[in-house]
A and B are shown apart, each in its own frame.
Chain A
Amino acid sequence: MNSIALFAYCGAAMVGLGLFGLITKPQVLRKILAFNVLGTGVFLLFGVIARRGAAAGLHSDPVPQALVITGIVVAFSATTMAVVLLLRLYAETGEATIDSDDPPSTGTDGGR
């Protein structure tokens, strides 16, 4: 195993972690965080592909790098939108969580 493979597993693990958080966390803010973790994982996989494509005297293929830079900007735009929607939801309903089917419960602190 070399360091490229190491970062590939790191990126793949981040995707899994983010996905898990996105599915299981009821608080919207945590879902946004998890979605960003998922996104950075995908970007890191792009980085691994770029690094493997090192050629022509470059240490890393510039095309996936440029795609990731664009991707980071778009992910930030989406995150801003999500945060503003969350704040609006909170202002309208006083809640910042999404429960599955059940009516809102009093819940236990921290949600763990």
Chain B
Amino acid sequence: MTPPFILEIAFVILILAIAVGTLVARAAFTAVLLFMIYGLLIAIAWIRLSAVDVALTEAAIGGGLTGMLLLGAVARLRESEGSGEEPGLPTLLAAGTFCVLVSAALGTLVLSRPEVAPSLAPAVMDNLAQSALGNPVAAVLFVFRAFDTLLEKVVLLLALIGVWSLAPDRVWGGVPGLRLYAEPSSILVFLAQLLPPIGIMIGIYMFWTGASYPGGAFQGGTVLAAMWLLVMIARLQPVPAISLRCVRLLLVVGPVIFVAIGLLGFVFAGAFLAYPPDYAKPLIVIAEATLTLSIGVTLGLLVAGPPDRMQQP
């Protein structure tokens, strides 16, 4: 079932118009809101490109967490973003010409021949049975290119260390400066009580179903992070100090177990991150389950930002 082509053209024009709006909006708040809409539209574009796993990721991150992060930044800049000085007309013209050339070159290159586009899809499908997973994208992420996925988790942790290290010395180990409502409205509290049970179910389901259908650890972890942030913002749960041992443990448990399984691969399957044939599925599920938890906590703390006060005794 495909929509008429004219609708797709209209859709692409809408995406580009909102992208322009994001860049030219006068108020930073408007720009961020447009960017969130843009993220959701891009998710739809991914569905049109038959990449549902990516669509879920883009909707959760581009439309969700990035938006929340940037809205927090706008609130902290308090309308004092400043206007700076726009470059003069010659610079604008030169930059414009350069960018048009880059776009034109990219568009031409990506669509240029070879007539038969290179593809690793046959190789993936040939070996899919060995991976014990039904979802080819999950098989690439956790079996064929598992090293990439491991390093991606390390990047997340490194980013968190980077964020924390920007805190002033005196509040090191303190409580992240997530902006909370002084007196949450009853609607926010109601939603923060109503949504998490459903959200946690959806998060776990996304990770569980990811083995065979679109979904996965990262998408599930993002939903868990969103639920956690909601509960913290509504002041139903306190924001934890980053020095708490259980926080540190939750952050590293996923990557550590993934690395441990990878090292066991040396012993039982002859290579790092290789799975013994009969135990591939259970090992992957264990790794994914702990990674989902760690990703949820890492993303939540990334959005919460660097610590800005010590814990009240």
Binding site for B on A (CB under 8 A): 2-21, 23-27, 29-30, 32-34, 36-37, 40, 43-45, 47-63, 65-70, 72-74, 76-81, 83-88, 90, 94-100, 102, 104-105, 107-112
Q: Evaluate whether A55 and B119 lie within 8 angstroms (CB atoms) in the complex, with A7-B49, A70-B152, A83-B73 already known.
A: yes
- Residues in A neighbouring B180, C-beta threshold 8 A: none
Within 8 A of A (CB), among B1-56: 2, 5, 8-9, 12, 15-16, 19-20, 22-24, 26, 28, 31-32, 35, 38-39, 42, 45-46, 48-51, 53-54
When A and B form their complex, what is the total count of cross-chain residue pairs whose Cβ atoms lie within 8 Å?
Answer: 297
- Residues in B neighbouring A16, C-beta threshold 8 A: 99-100, 102-103, 106
**Given contacts A12-B106, A29-B74, A72-B61, could you give 9 more A-B pairs where the C-beta distance is less than 8 Å?**
A6-B8, A13-B103, A14-B15, A20-B99, A48-B110, A53-B119, A65-B54, A67-B148, A90-B77
CB-based contact A56/B125 at 8 Å: yes
Q: Is the interface of A mostly helix, strand, loop or mixed?
A: helix
CB-based contact A11/B140 at 8 Å: no
CB-based contact B83/A33 at 8 Å: no
CA distance A109 to B54 in the complex (A): 39
Binding site for A on B (CB under 8 A): 2, 5, 8-9, 12, 15-16, 19-20, 22-24, 26, 28, 31-32, 35, 38-39, 42, 45-46, 48-51, 53-54, 57-58, 61-62, 65-66, 69-70, 72-74, 76-77, 80-87, 91-92, 95-96, 98-100, 102-104, 106-107, 110-111, 117-122, 124-126, 136-137, 139-141, 144-145, 148-149, 152, 155-156, 158-159, 162-163, 166, 216, 218, 299, 302-303, 305-306
